[in-house]
Amino acid sequence: MAHYRHLLLQRLQQDGQHVVAISPVDSSTPELSRLLIHIPWRIHRSTDANPFFFGISFLRMLFLVRAIKPRLVHSHTLKANLLAAVVTAIFGIPCVLSFAGMGRLSKARGPSRLAFVFVLRSIAFFSVRQRRSRWRWGTAPDRTAFIFQNPIDRSLFEAALPHLSTSRNYLIPGSGVPGAYLAPTAGAHNSVNDLPNHWWSQPLGPRHCTVPTCELLFCGRLLRSKGIVTFLEVADLLAAQHFTVFGGIDPSSRDSLLSAELPDLQRQHPNVVFSGSQRDPLLHLKVPYPVLVVPSNYGEGMPRSVAEALVLGIPVISSRAATCGIFDASTVYIAEDDDPGDYLHCFDQLLADHAAGQLLTRLQAGRHLVHHRFSEEAVVAQTLAVYESLHSERIKSYLLNKDDARLQHWLAQ
């Protein structure tokens, strides 16, 4: 949150708002605590399907919201959204539910698919209801706003809930790309003639173009569904190239690699360097021929690393799933299947386009797209507009009105 929502948090505080974050403790917690009031919330992805732990998480959120009495709740991720929808309905608090990608459940089949649809319908049910008094409930069609990071997730949600009004469904592309990436000199660390990297230089032609030594990059948590295993398999196919992994393990996910596995993987893949989690790794990259590889089938919202790479002039090879209905073949190279050979084919095509002088058109298109649609400034402005649209709902809150009445009574004493 400190990394992806830094500007939004700053703007809220500049507007005189008191911001409280309830989130799990991780490596970004110290920075987050310096920005605002942070309350640790012990919630883990590994216990998502356990009713007992889900109940514990619900009670924790219930008591925290009751004590804090927020004027607005903004939640992220599927499990937190379900909990927030129920808790804010109980207290009648305006709520914004962001779907940062539907995750692996959106691609599930059988019982898991039924569970996924049940969660969405539960969220929808409570999103349009609220408690009016101690025992009386009523409908509140405008109490909740939904934010989707890509059109595929929004369509999936609306298809599962055909009777829910779409007037409060907003499409906002992730957290946006920070201004540091959008600066004219961003990424121009080691190039000649102020070019972002050597991909932007015009080759002499196919006959004179030798295969460059490239740095293929993976940015993300080391989850199998994020494609880390596929990335390592591609490294085996391209032994002459260099590979770097930016990202760490996720102890709360069963899908994550383990710390104990990393030394063995390093020995098995000598052309791969595991660099751990780093802030803005692409921005500070100093290699002549970088290539971002995104072999994810996780169910992404809007992969920010793709947007960051594009605006820095770095070619991107992506799985079809990770394009999220936002990026297409005019800006990225798309591997249609999960087979490592598909990524090898995309890499060969990238080299051929560079040799033929055709890569530059794709790089320029990607840069233009991010500059005009995905800046952090634009995303923050859109998010604040959603907050403002719920302003009138605050006066209808059972909890807030009850608390205001107690305060007025105390002042009148």
Over the stretch 73-85, which tens digit does the pLDDT of each residue have?
A: 999 888 899 999 9
Q: Are residues 64 and 88 in the same domain?
A: yes
Residue 277: inside a domain = yes
Confidence class for position 174, pLDDT limits 50, 70, 90:
confident
Confidence class for position 190, pLDDT limits 50, 70, 90:
very low
Q: What pLDDT sits at residue 282?
A: 94
Residue 26: inside a domain = no
Q: Which of 373, 389, 404 lies at the terminal end of a domain, its last residue? A: 373
Q: Is 193 helix (H, G, I), strand (E, B) or coil?
A: helix
Q: Are residues 193 and 108 in the same domain?
A: no
Q: Are residues 253 and 356 in the same domain?
A: yes
Residue 18: inside a domain = no
Q: Are residues 270 and 403 in the same domain?
A: no
Q: Does residue 1 surpass a pLDDT of 70? A: no
Which range, of 48-57, 58-67, 83-92, 204-213, averages the lowest pLDDT? 204-213
Q: What pLDDT sits at residue 193?
A: 47
Check residues 410 and 23 and name the one with the higher pLDDT: 23
Q: Are residues 319 and 401 in the same domain?
A: no
Q: Are residues 253 and 350 in the same domain?
A: yes
First to last CA, the chain: 42
Q: Does residue 391 surpass a pLDDT of 70? A: yes
Tally of structural domains, the chain: 2
Q: What pLDDT sits at residue 376?
A: 93
Q: Does residue 236 surpass a pLDDT of 80? A: yes
Q: What pLDDT sits at residue 323?
A: 93
Q: Are residues 299 and 289 in the same domain?
A: yes
**53-61: long-range pairs with CB below 8 Å, 24+:** 54/79, 57/83, 58/83, 58/86, 58/87, 61/22, 61/87
Taking residues 28-55, report their average pLDDT. Answer: 78
Q: Are residues 392 and 351 in the same domain?
A: no
Taking residues 369-396, report their average pLDDT. Answer: 88
Strands 290-294 and 215-219: parallel
Taking residues 235-244, report their average pLDDT. Answer: 96
Residue with tokens 């992994």: 245
Q: Are residues 364 and 220 in the same domain?
A: yes
Q: Does residue 173 surpass a pLDDT of 80? A: yes
Q: What pLDDT sits at residue 208?
A: 53
Residue 31: inside a domain = no
Q: Are residues 341 and 201 in the same domain?
A: yes
Q: What pLDDT sits at residue 307?
A: 95
Residue 29: inside a domain = no
Q: What pLDDT sits at residue 147?
A: 96
Task: Tell me the residue range of the domain where 338 lies.
Answer: 179-373
pTM for the model: 0.86
What type of residue is 112? S
CATH number at residue 311: 3.40.50.2000
Residue 36: inside a domain = no
Over the stretch 110-168, which tens digit does the pLDDT of each residue have?
A: 888 888 889 999 999 999 999 888 888 999 999 999 999 999 999 989 998 999 999 99
What is the residue-wise DSSP string for 238-296?
A: TTTSEEEEE----TT-TTB--GGGHHHHHHH-TTEEEEE--SSTTTT---SSEEEEE--
Burial 368-377 (b: 16+ CB within 10 A, else e): ebbeeebbbe
Q: Does residue 188 surpass a pLDDT of 50? A: no
Check residues 383 and 209 and name the one with the higher pLDDT: 383
Q: Does residue 205 surpass a pLDDT of 70? A: no
Check residues 6 and 98 and name the one with the higher pLDDT: 98
Q: What pLDDT sits at residue 294?
A: 97
How big is the chain, counted in residues?
413
Confidence class for position 49, pLDDT limits 50, 70, 90:
low
Sign of dihedral through CA atoms 146, 147, 153, 158?
positive
Residue 19: inside a domain = no
Q: Does residue 187 surpass a pLDDT of 50? A: no
Taking residues 236-244, report their average pLDDT. Answer: 96
Q: Are residues 201 and 304 in the same domain?
A: yes
Q: Are residues 313 and 408 in the same domain?
A: no
Q: What percent of the chain has pLDDT over 90?
A: 56
Q: Does residue 351 surpass a pLDDT of 80? A: yes
Residue 103: inside a domain = yes
Which range, of 172-176, 266-270, 404-408, averages the lowest pLDDT? 404-408
Check residues 183 and 346 and name the one with the higher pLDDT: 346
